[in-house]
Amino acid sequence: MGRTIAEKILANHSGQPARAGDIVLADLDFIMGQDGTSPLAIDVFRQMGGVKVAEPSKAALVIDHNAPSPSEGVSALHDMMRGFSREMGVQIYDVGEGVCHQLVPEQGYVVPGDLVIGADSHTCTYGALNAFATGVGSTDLAAALYSGKMWFRVPPTMRVLCHGALAKGVTAKDLVLFLVGQIGADGATYMALEFAGEAISQLSVDARLTIANMAVEMGAKAGLMEADEKTLAWVAGRSARQPQPVQADADAEYEKVLEFDVSDLPPYVAVPHRVDTVVPVSAVEGKRIQQAVIGTCTNGRLEDLQQAARILAGKRIAEGVRLIVAPASRQILLDAIADGTIGQLVAAGAALVTPGCGPCVGTHNGIPADGETVISTANRNFKGRMGNNKAKIYLGSAATVAASALSGMITDPRRVADE
Amino acid sequence: MNKERAKLHGRVHVFGDDINTDYIIAGKYKFKTNDMRELARHAFEDIDPEFIARVQPGDIVVAGNNFGCGSSREQAPLVLLHAGISAVVATSFARIFFRNAINTGLPVLQCPVEGLQNGDQLSVDLATGEIMAGDGRKWQANPLPPVMLQILQNGGLVPHIKKHGGFGFEGGAAD
């Protein structure tokens, strides 16, 4: 019987057969922590008796969740991370460098075939580059820094085949929201997802990152894609390491195979307070919003900002709406300045904030007021997620968020695009 | 696992499906401090504001599907431990929470336990997976895999690694 991508990558890194259900101890290619999880990991690392990081060049810390610091308490935690970075020789990406899940691939730390852990649930993002990447907590992060290894239960795989081609005005975010709605918030719990099919192949690597990013919103351990020419070209521009692409065998054993023709999908939104309560934008059009957010590890990349700018260029967002834009990295911010995108967004009324997680995690940079409605390009709309449990959060593509900011109410972007 | 240590008994707090880590401890608190006793005062604040006044040491959380979904924050199992929770029994768990619970020494058992109300008594045997309510109703959970039981028995991954100088199964598969 053939093997899945997850089984092959875990076998390659553990020297064991690594069939679904096995528990293996595997060597890690890269380890990442952010400022919400690293401080606790540093405490735990010391408690373990850690005095040096096993392989400092294979790790990085990122200050992105609260960047710049909004309080003395957070500043102390950031300071602790900087001290650990200096002491251990581990690279740190400080305030303004960007969101961890943009930086790790962008800085060339991940190539196809890799095994990566990150102390952040959206580490599954790098699955778009054909890497088995999964989110863990602070103790796993500490043990990984200490040993360079982690134990894994090899997950069964659900294969998701997307046939057809997305219609004009419909984005990767709409596709993944549709999939979350179909599969459910716990539909792939403990499993790896393999996304395949021509609709995936047609997407840019940036758009594929958006899809893999939300694998965890279906409960999955990883969201994997095969590497193609686009992947290899993307990685070659960023990393000197040799990719080891891994394909699923034709006779691989899957827990489940789902097939969708995605040609007729409309733009979608997830409605409060569940990420798997997904409806076509048209079903909630006209709902008033007070805040709109473009950014995050899901949709803060250049093509997302460009999508928004195409809708907003030369116009002005509705009165009474705040539009917050957080590019996913400094490089993206620079690129978006260079091509005029940032100028268009700011001229249209956007408030530009530091590259980072921004308002997505509810600590700063735009906490909504009681009773307000927000539309965001993020990946979670849990009650209280943005710092106020009396606010409502809708999730959509950058185009949908921009169109909604323009009209002051939730709007299908196809109404305003390319006019 | 040590037989006495594997047996737990407490009053239950019942929650539904998809209790995410933001509900267990809101992001707005978890970034502020590494002090888990302080964070524990805000456990379940957004969905059950009475919880923290009600909870007693040894109590057990009973929940539905996908408990602990959402972020990777390890503060979620840690605040439950610091609030006095001795175990979580849920129909299913989100996988990062499940790992984090084992790693921090919070026992977790996967089993659909229904029909209980806040304050009901529950006994849990981690070694056998037997679960029994105060009124005599019984459920059977799958026992945890040996590697997870070992880590729990040692009190979490930190004492486990200190004891073994590593994961303790470097030479091959656990058990």
Tell me which of A260, A287, A319 is where a domain ends.
Answer: A260
Sorted by sequence, the CB contacts under 8 Å of residue B158 that are 6+ apart come out as: A44, A47, A48, A139, A142
Q: What is the mean pLDDT of residues B137-161?
A: 91
Instruction: Give the per-residue pLDDT at B169.
Output: 75
Residues A188 and A86 in one domain: yes
Residues of A in Cβ contact (< 8 Å) with B99: 136-137, 140
Instruction: Give the per-residue pLDDT at A418.
Output: 57
Domain ranges of chain B: 7-164
Residues A150 and A98 in one domain: yes
Tell me which of A240, A260, A280 is where a domain ends.
Answer: A260
Residues A226 and A286 in one domain: no
Residue of B nearest to A149 (CA): B167
Residues A218 and A337 in one domain: no
Question: Domain containing A280: what range?
Answer: 269-415
Residue of B nearest to A33 (CA): B72
Q: How many domains does chain A have?
A: 2
Mutation pick from B71, B75, B82 vs chain A, by most beta carbons of A within 10 Å, is B71
Q: How far apart are CA A293 and CA A375, in angstroms?
A: 6
Kindly report the nearest CA distance between residue B171 and chain A, in angstroms: 9
Q: How far apart are CA A263 and CA A109, in angstroms?
A: 34
Give one word for A173, left, alpha or beta, with left for phi > 0 and alpha for psi -120 to 50: alpha
In the numeric block, the tokens 């249209």 are attached to A348
Sorted by sequence, the CB contacts under 8 Å of residue A391 that are 6+ apart come out as: A368, A369, A370, A371, A372, A373, A374
- Judge: A151–B169 Cβ closer than 8 Å, yes or no: yes
Instruction: Give the per-residue pLDDT at B45.
Output: 93
Q: How far apart are CA B76 and CA B25, in angstroms?
A: 6
Kindly report the nearest CA distance between residue A136 and chain B, in angstroms: 6
- Judge: A121–B71 Cβ closer than 8 Å, yes or no: yes
Sorted by sequence, the CB contacts under 8 Å of residue B70 that are 6+ apart come out as: A121, A380, A382, B20, B21, B22, B94
Kindly report the nearest CA distance between residue B134 and chain A, in angstroms: 30
Confidence of residue B4 (pLDDT cuts 50, 70, 90): low
Residues A165 and A250 in one domain: yes
Give the mean pLDDT of chain B.
90
Q: Report yes or no: B51 and B85 within 8 Å, Cβ to Cβ.
A: no
Residues A315 and A349 in one domain: yes
Closest CA to A149 of A125, A117, A123, A120: A117
Superfamily of domain B7-164, CATH level 4: Aconitase, domain 4 (3.20.19.10)
Residues A181 and A273 in one domain: no
Instruction: Give the per-residue pLDDT at B173.
Output: 47
pLDDT tens string B43-82: 999 999 999 999 999 999 999 999 999 888 899 999 999 9
Domain with residue A29: its CATH number is 3.30.499.10
Residues A195 and A338 in one domain: no
Instruction: Give the per-residue pLDDT at A230.
Output: 98
- Judge: B161–A35 Cβ closer than 8 Å, yes or no: no
Look up residue A180 and give its DSSP letter: H
* From A23, A190, A362, residue closest to B28, measured CB to CB: A362
Asked if the model's pLDDT at residue B5 lies above 70, the reply is no
Tell me which of A260, A293, A313 is where a domain ends.
Answer: A260
Asked if the model's pLDDT at residue B154 lies above 90, the reply is yes
Question: How large is the ipTM?
Answer: 0.84
Q: Based on the number of CB atoms within 10 Å of its own CB, is A260 exposed (0-12), middle (13-18) or buried (19 or more)? A: middle
Within chain A, which residues score under 70 in pLDDT? 417-419
Instruction: Give the per-residue pLDDT at A19.
Output: 96
Instruction: Give the per-residue pLDDT at A20.
Output: 95
Q: How far apart are CA A351 and CA A364, in angstroms?
A: 14
Mutation pick from A72, A84, A121, A297 vs chain B, by most beta carbons of B within 10 Å, is A121
Residues A321 and A217 in one domain: no
Residues of B in Cβ contact (< 8 Å) with A147: 161, 166-167
Instruction: Give the per-residue pLDDT at A46.
Output: 97
* From A147, A367, A384, residue closest to B46, measured CB to CB: A384
Instruction: Give the per-residue pLDDT at B175.
Output: 39
Residues A285 and A248 in one domain: no
Instruction: Give the per-residue pLDDT at B31.
Output: 64
Instruction: Give the per-residue pLDDT at B174.
Output: 43
pLDDT tens string A325-384: 999 999 999 999 999 999 999 999 999 999 999 899 888 899 999 999 999 999 999 988
- Judge: B74–A49 Cβ closer than 8 Å, yes or no: no
Residues A17 and A103 in one domain: yes
Asked if the model's pLDDT at residue B17 lies above 80, the reply is yes
- Judge: B94–A387 Cβ closer than 8 Å, yes or no: no
Kindly report the nearest CA distance between residue A390 and chain B, in angstroms: 10
Task: Measure Cα distances from B106 to A262, A287, B36, B74 in Å.
Answer: 42, 43, 14, 11
Residues A232 and A285 in one domain: no
Residues of B in Cβ contact (< 8 Å) with A23: 145, 147, 173-174
